[in-house]
Copies of this chain bind each other. A is one copy, B any other.
Amino acid sequence: MRAHSTAMNKEFQLRFDALRERIEARLESYFAGDLSLLEAMRYSVAAGGKRIRPVFTLAFVEACRDHVCGTEEAMDAACAVELLHTYSLIHDDLPAMDDDDMRRGKPSNHVAFGEALAILAGDALQAEAFAKIAGCDLPAERVVKMIAALAEAAGADGICGGQTFDMQGSDDLYRVHSMKTASLIAAAVKIGVIAAGGSAEQLSAAEEFANGVGLAFQIRDDVLDATGSAEALGKPVGSDAEQGKQTFYTRYGAAECERLIAEHTKAAKDAVRAAFVDAELLCAIADELAMREN
């Protein structure tokens, strides 16, 4: 695969798709039942998205070549990260928060189910995320570390703190991004390395990868909000500018954003190539995310 190609090499695309399909199947198996709460939970979990966080978890398990756990033992932990991400989107969309009516081309959870159920569905998804990791068939020491990583990303120093700063109109772009977005990507990759029994060096390389990829991801998001098409994104565009919101795009402009995306993506790839036997799937995903159009 060429660096910065927009089309992922076919071999990596197949590996990526295979992981994503197994994740989709596992997510679909959760929360069966006809209670309205379960229906509201399933609605947002099924709404899709790139599943990039759980794919990262499993791709890091695969990257730890001498791993003592396969992707199957880590599957519920990978999905737990996606459940936590889904809960945070449901709550972010609420009228009292960002008040977004659409998400991934569908009515937001509170538009479909009402505010009370949307709050409860988010609350329950957070609890179920921890339940899923606790149920993983892995050594207990690792499970505790995986739970600690997810809880750290989910709490006041992570997505809740980041959303607070964002709502309060903080113009510290890097801090908001780091708490609100990068923290959960970091948890996803750390959970993969911990599940596989990776080394401290691999854990730290994975965090560096998450920081680089997370920043590139966020900058691309801001660029797409300013220049992309509503159809491709499945949500209205130009909302940042409309709200007079400071973003990487408004601060740095198009050309500098592209340079930053390339720089952070390269740093991410260098970090994992130095620490893992086979980091090429991770690098291919990093490139794909950097160049994505939706």
Instruction: List, in ascending order, chain B residues with CB within 8 A of A130's CB.
Output: 130, 147, 150-151, 154
Contact among B38, B119, B134 for A147, CB-based, below 8 A: B134
Most central of A148, A151, A154, A161 by chain B CB within 10 Å: A151
* Distance in angstroms between the alpha carbons of A135 and B116 in the assembled complex: 32
CB distance from A284 to the nearest CB of B (A): 32
Copies of this polypeptide in the complex: 2
**Interface 9-residue window, one of A1-9, A162-170, A255-263:** A162-170
Which of B96, B116, B122, B135 is A97 in contact with, Cβ under 8 Å? B116
The answer to whether A160 has its CB under 8 Å from any CB of chain B is yes
Selected interface stretch from A29-37, A59-67, A218-226: A29-37
A91 within 8 A of B: yes
Stretch in A16-24, A50-58, A137-145 touching the partner? A137-145
Contact A148/B164 with A156-B37, A156-B128 known, Cβ cut-off 8 Å: no
B37 touching A161 by the CB < 8 A rule? Answer: yes
The reply to whether A156 and B96 form a contact with Cβ atoms under 8 Å apart is no
Tell whether, in the assembled complex, residue A123 and residue B161 are in contact, meaning their CB atoms are under 8 Å apart.
no
- A122 to B122 alpha-carbon distance, docked (Å): 11
Q: Quick check: B96 and A115 within 8 Å, CB to CB?
A: yes
* B128 A127 Cβ-Cβ under 8 A: no
Question: Contact partner of A126 among B116, B127, B140, B161, CB < 8 A?
Answer: B127
The answer to whether B161 touches A124 (Cβ under 8 A) is yes
A230 at the interface (CB under 8 A from B): no
Q: How many residues of A contact B (CB 8 A)?
A: 49
For residue A35, which residues in chain B have a CB less than 8 angstroms away from its CB?
A: 156, 161, 164
Chain A facing B: main interface SS: helix
CA gap between A44 and B265 in the complex, in Å: 42
CA distance A238 to B51 in the complex (A): 48
CA distance A120 to B126 in the complex (A): 13
Q: Bound complex: CA of A143 vs CA of B134, how far in Å?
A: 9
15 contacts between A and B (CB under 8 A): A31-B156, A37-B156, A91-B123, A94-B119, A96-B119, A97-B119, A122-B123, A124-B154, A126-B127, A127-B151, A127-B156, A131-B151, A140-B140, A140-B141, A144-B147
- Which residues on A are within 8 Å of B, measured CB to CB? 31, 35-38, 41, 87-88, 91, 94, 96-97, 114-117, 119-124, 126-128, 130-131, 134-135, 139-141, 143-144, 147-148, 150-152, 154-156, 158, 160-161, 163-164, 167-168
Given contacts A97-B119, A121-B160, A139-B140, 8 further A-B contacts (CB under 8 A): A37-B156, A38-B156, A96-B115, A123-B160, A124-B155, A124-B160, A128-B151, A128-B155
